[in-house]
Structure 1
């Protein structure tokens, strides 16, 4: 069975299949990388909760930064949020995002 969470016009916020939840790339509001990362991780907490899981069950995370020079600002927020006893695998790359105001995008996969 497939469970679709927050379906939209083009994609779902997350999809649960065979006990695994995968989120879409999540973007956030805010004037800087720190604020956007906080907003994104709060949204991810909500998506994981709707799927019936938490960040303690993260498997992987993919992070896209508009400017890799903001890596440390994103990491400060990430380090406060992530469950240090259950770290996922993670990749972070610099990329041009869908709109100029977007500075960070994060996608995660977790066990339900």
Structure 2
């Protein structure tokens, strides 16, 4: 049986609880929920990319991508994306940012499936995203 491998890119700090930023087992890679924190700075608390949905969304997607790459995957390998927004009023704006981001990624595979739900997140955070990828 294939071992599970925990994935933590250099841009990420150790998680605040007992979980991994990403886990790979065989050809399956699960990215844990990521938020729009800027790349980790040793000894400093995590800082959001900015107060806007755009800033946080782009950083959140960059954080997910970093974990995918750490596990040898790309957006083309992603089967499912789950998006957690704190405000129903952000849905249209998020879709515009999301569509443009993935146009720029030049996916060669079909777009992943996606679910969007509304949740509470810690103060100042507007979005969280997780992803499931299948390699090769």
Whether TM-score is above 0.5 comes out as: yes
| Corresponding position of 2:28 | 20
Partners of 1:78 and 1:34 lie apart in 2 by 9
Q: 1:90 aligns with which of 114, 117, 134?
A: 114
| Corresponding position of 1:8 | 15
Greater share of residues in strand: 1
Q: Structure 2 length normalisation: TM-score?
A: 0.76
| Corresponding position of 2:82 | 62
Q: 1:47 aligns with which of 54, 58, 67?
A: 67
Poorly superposed stretches of 4+, deviation over 6 Å: none
- Preserved CA contact (<8 Å) 1:58 1:86: no
Which structure 2 segments of 5+ residues have no match?
A: 9-13, 37-47
Partners of 2:72 and 2:125 lie apart in 1 by 28
Greater share of residues in helix: 1
CA distance 1:58–1:74, shift in 2 (3 Å): same
What's the offset of the Cα at 1:84? 7.1
Structure showing greater radius of gyration is 2
Q: 1:38 aligns with which of 46, 50, 58?
A: 58
Which structure 1 segments of 5+ residues have no match?
A: none
